[in-house]
Amino acid sequence: MAAAVATGLEVFLEERAPAYRGLRLGLIAHAASVTRSLTSAVRAIAECPGLSLCCLFGPEHGLTGAAQDMVAVEGGGSAPAPEIPVFSLYGSTLESLSPRPEMLEGIDLLIADLQDVGSRYYTFAVTVALALEAIARRGGTLVVLDRPNPLGGLAVEGPGLAPEMRSFVGHFLVPVRHGMTIGELLRSHARAEGLEASLEVVPMRGWDRSMDFEVTGLPWVPPSPNMPTVDTAYVYPGACLVEGTNLSEGRGTTRPFEWIGAPFLDPDKLAATLTDEGLPGVIFRPLTFTPGFHKWARELCGGVALHVTDRRAFQPVRTGVAVLAASKRLAPSSFAWRREPYEFVSDQPAIDLLTAGWSVREAIDSQRGLAEITRVCPTVGAAWRAGRSPLLLY
């Protein structure tokens, strides 16, 4: 039976809203900002007695989630209530990622309700962090309405982030799969940056760190165009690494991040090579696919489908690294690292931003074995977990 988990949005509406009556509220939201009954947070807050919603902010992909990855959302737009202005927090420049002072004029309280997916690269929590920094400079407060980490809150995997490697896909000093909710991530960031007085988190009710998303009883709404299912979220911490290469990560297909390939790869050889690695909790099925858009659009690609058979055993980051290493080994003259600007950074390869350094790229280029690559890219240890513990809400 599904558990009765109440999101931070529902707790806010049921218990906290009276404390904010008469205040002018700003809201950072997206397509997955909904109640259990699929009412949007915009509508639910706007219609809550005594609350005044004066403006809206959209993260990457926009308020409605229509824009594809790394597509600037310029200008405002119309909210469900036309009189409410909408501001974009994902434009064409690095400066566009933070709210400008004039956007925050007239706001007494800024609220953020965004569904995260449990991976350091995913940009929504970073958008909230930048908004927290902006509103703290004005002496204001940001309230985060917490939501489940769809990967649960127990498993941690991947390297930590060195401060010098910070970017829009690496703002928090956490491992790739961090095992935290968006509220816990922001608590961690606020403590590190001395912003605790400017942050409030409304916790969920009934969530447990061991929960699969399906048992929460909450509906899954894609938080971005290429995150259609919870299964996608499980492979994303490793499959996102494909963005740093010329391989297709399955954008433009019905299974983004679960299908990976390129025209120069032999699907049977790739599947066999990956199967020989003995990676736990996953089966690699050879396949061919033709992306409708994005990399290799309308070209037949050979590759693999990732079928996660045991979520508890599956190691997405190690699996993603294995896919890159096998692809390089099988097609050394065709496989290539992305050199185009990536998430507002042009002076470092995308893969280095994602793996927080050059060691993984160098090890793959040297065609080292997976065990050796894993040694140069270790998962954070017990010290990081101990430091995280006081910040956990569940």
Residue 309 lies in a domain: yes
Q: Is residue 384 part of a domain?
A: no
Cβ atoms 216, 16 nearer than 8 A: no
Contact 171, 231 (CB under 8 A): no
Q: Is 89 a domain residue? A: yes
List the CATH number of the domain containing 67: 3.40.50.12170
Specify whether 177 is located in the same domain as 283. Answer: no
387: in domain = no
Instruction: Say yes or no: 182 and 89 in one domain.
Output: yes
pLDDT score recorded for residue 162:
83
Residues 187 and 254 placed together within one structural domain of the fold: no
Instruction: Note the pLDDT of residue 382.
Output: 86
pLDDT digits (tens, 9 = 90+) for 151-201: 999 999 998 888 888 999 999 999 999 999 999 999 999 999 999 999 999
For residues 270 and 366, give the distance between their C-alpha atoms in angstroms, rounded to a whole number: 18
Which segments of the chain are extended strands (E)?
A: 24-29, 52-58, 86-88, 109-113, 142-145, 199-202, 259-262, 282-289, 301-308
Among residues 331, 161, 322, which one has the least CA distance to residue 242? 322
Residue with tokens 């204001």: 140
Query: What pLDDT was estimated at residue 81?
Result: 62
Task: Print burial letters for 186-196: b (CB count within 10 Å at least 16), e (below 16).
Answer: bbbbbeeeebe
pLDDT recorded at residue 43: 93
267 in the same domain as 189: no
Residue 236 inside a domain? The answer is yes
At residue 56's C-alpha, the angle toward residues 50 and 58, to 5°, is 145
pLDDT of residue 72: 85
Contacts of 372 (CB under 8 A, 6+ apart): 363
Same domain? For 242 and 107 the reply is no
Residue-number span of the structural domain to which 301 is assigned: 230-376
Q: Which DSSP string do the residues of 179-239 spell out, in sequence order?
A: ---HHHHHHHHHHHHT-GGGEEEE--BS--TT--GGGGTPPP--SSTT--SHHHHHHHHHH
Q: Are residues 203 and 351 in the same domain?
A: no
End-of-domain residue from the set 155, 190, 219: 219
150: left (phi over 0), alpha (psi -120 to 50) or beta: alpha
The domain total for the chain is 2
Same domain flag for 27 and 66: yes
Mark the ranges of the chain whose per-residue pLDDT is less than 50: none
Residue 193 CA to residue 295 CA, distance in Å, equals 38
Domain presence at residue 389: no
Three-state secondary-structure class, residue 390: helix
Distance CA(19)–CA(201), nearest Å, equals 14
Rounded Cα distance, 186 and 196, in Å? 9
- What's the confidence (pLDDT) of residue 66? 83
Give the end of a domain, one of 177, 200, 219.
Answer: 219
The domain boundary residue, chosen from 199, 219, 239: 219
Residue type at position 229: T
Are 135 and 167 part of one and the same domain? Answer: yes
Compute the half-sphere exposure of residue 235: CA atoms within 13 Å on the CB side of its CA.
29
| Same domain, yes or no: 282 and 310 | yes
348 shares a domain with 296: yes
Of 55, 52, 60, whose CA–CA distance to 31 is shortest?
60
Q: So what's the pLDDT on residue 214?
A: 96
Let me know if residue 266 belongs to a domain: yes
Q: Identify the CATH number of the domain in which residue 336 sits.
A: 3.90.1150.140
Residue 304 forms part of a structural domain: yes
Beta carbons of 27 and 56 less than 8 angstroms apart: yes
Residues 339 and 290 reside in one and the same domain: yes
pLDDT tens digit string along 63-74? Answer: 988 888 888 898
Pair (20, 107) in one structural domain: yes
- The amino acid sitting at 352 is D
Instruction: Return the structure tokens found at 229.
Output: 């299912």
- The span from the CA of 171 to the CA of 188, in Å, is 11
Return all residues near 63 (Cβ < 8 A) that are at least 6 apart. 29, 30, 31, 42, 56, 57, 77, 79, 86
Residue 297: CB atoms within 10 A of its CB come to: 12
Burial of 64 (0-12, 13-18, 19+ CB in 10 A): middle
